[in-house]
Amino acid sequence: MSKQNILVIAAHPDDEILGAGGAIARHIEEEDNVRVLILGEDISSRAGVPRERIEREQKKLYACSQKALKFLGAGAPVQKSLPDNAFDSVPLLSVVHGIEAVMKEMQPHIVYTHHGSDVNVDHRITSDAVLTAVRPAKDGSVMEVRAFEVPSSTEWNFTRPLFRPQVFVGLTEAQLKKKIAAMRAYRSEIRSFPHPRSAEYLEALARVRGGQAGFPAAEAFELVYRRV
C-alpha cells in the first residue's frame, strides 16, 4: 500500500492525543506522512490569570505538544493561536482559510478532526471549518474524513446528537501505551481517575472500542465521508 498523507486537525493542544493519539502512532509505524494542526492556544480563557503568566503557560503547553507528538514518532505540530473557548468570536472563513493553507501544502488523503456535537464550542467550530475546507471537489486530495471523540467533551454533549462510530482503528499494546505516554506529557491537562482525561479512563475507553470491533484495543471514529 502506498504511503498516505494524514492530517489531524485539533482545536487545542491535547485534543490530538485524546482523539487520535493511537491512530497517529499506527500511521507513523505504517510509514504514512502525519501532520498535526492545532488551531487554538487553550489558555487565555482562564479567569483572573495575569497576561504574563498566560504567555508563560502557553509556551509550556506548546513544548508539551511537541513532546507528546515525539512519543508517537510525529514531528512538531503546526500551531495557530485562535482564542481559547472563543473560536466563535473569529469569522469562520478566517478559520477555514488557515486550514486550507495547511491542506494546500500537504495535500492530505485522510483528515481527522472533532465531532460536530462536542460540548466545547471550539471543537464545534473546528468541525464546521474543517467540513468547509474538505469539500469533496473534483481536484481535491482528501479521500476520507474521520471525526474523533475527545473524552471530557464528546460524551458530555447530553442534548446533542450522539457520537456513533463506524470506523475502528485497532491498536497494539505498544500503540496504546504510546498514546497514554503522550497524554502524560500534558501535565497540566491529564487528570486523576475517574476523570475522562485520566490514563485509566483512556485505557478503559480503548478496551471498550476494541471490544466493539474484535480488537484488544482501538480508537473509534465517525465516518464523515469516504471517496473511493
pLDDT (tens digit per residue) in 58-104: 888 899 999 999 999 999 999 998 999 999 999 999 999 999 999 99
Instruction: Tell me what the mean pLDDT of segment 96-115 comes to.
Output: 98
Task: Give the model's pLDDT for residue 49.
Answer: 65
Q: Confidence class of residue 45 from pLDDT cuts 50, 70 and 90?
A: low
Q: Give how far the C-alpha of residue 88 lies from the chain's centroid of Cα atoms, to the nearest Å.
A: 19
118-130, pLDDT tens digit by residue? 999 999 999 999 9
Helices (H) and strands (E) in the chain, counts: 6, 7
Size of the chain in residues: 228
Place of cell 493553507: 101
The residue segments making up the domain with residue 209 are 5-226
Q: Is cis: bond before 194, omega within 30 of 0?
A: yes
Task: Give the model's pLDDT for residue 16.
Answer: 98
180-226, pLDDT tens digit by residue? 999 999 988 889 999 999 999 999 999 999 999 999 999 999 999 99
CATH number of the domain at 183, please. 3.40.50.10320
Q: Confidence class of residue 54 from pLDDT cuts 50, 70 and 90?
A: confident
**Does residue 44 surpass a pLDDT of 80?**
no
The whole-angstrom separation of Cα 99 and Cα 87 is 14
Domain count, the chain: 1
123-153, pLDDT tens digit by residue? 999 999 999 999 998 889 999 999 999 999 9
Mean pLDDT taken over the chain: 94
The whole-angstrom separation of Cα 27 and Cα 32 is 5
Q: Confidence class of residue 55 from pLDDT cuts 50, 70 and 90?
A: confident
At 204, list the grid cell: 478503559
Percent of the chain past pLDDT 70, that is, above it, reads: 96
Strand partners, 167: 221
CB contact at 8 A, 215 and 172 = no
Task: Give the model's pLDDT for residue 42.
Answer: 65
Of 24-28, 38-42, 103-107, 210-214, give the lowest mean pLDDT range: 38-42
